[in-house]
Amino acid sequence: MPVLVASTPSLEEQVQELQRKLAEKEAEIANLATCLENRKREKVNEVSSSNTAITLQDIKELVAQGTKEYHATVSPPVLGYGNPYPSHYDSVPFPKGYQKPNFEKFDGINGSPHEHLAHLYSTCDETALNDALLIR
């Protein structure tokens, strides 16, 4: 069976063709960038021509608004005191007749933390078995 073989371009010809296509694409990208830059300039000119008079009061308001936005992102507002534990812990009731135990706060100097926790658990009795009551 006869097979027709077309002439294939050499490697150098293929590289030259790819370089030509690349140059065309680069020119197309440069043209699009120029068009985009021209559109931006037109928009800036439109905005600046419509807002020709900016007063000192307008500048002060813009600065104040920017400052508020900056502070809101840097330090979110505190809405009041919050407990350092989940809110559902407050709904767990203490046993009937429970009285808050009196014990010394651990100062980190006298005694060991293990002794302090052992004293805490023994003083709290049955509430030491419930995390919600122990934390409260």
Q: Rounded mean pLDDT of 23-41?
A: 90
Amino acid at 40: K
Q: 55-77: per-residue pLDDT in tens?
A: 888 889 999 998 888 877 776 66
Inform me whether the pLDDT recorded for 5 exceeds 60. Answer: no
Residue 25's pLDDT is: 93
Percent of the chain past pLDDT 90, that is, above it, reads 13
Amino acid at 51: N
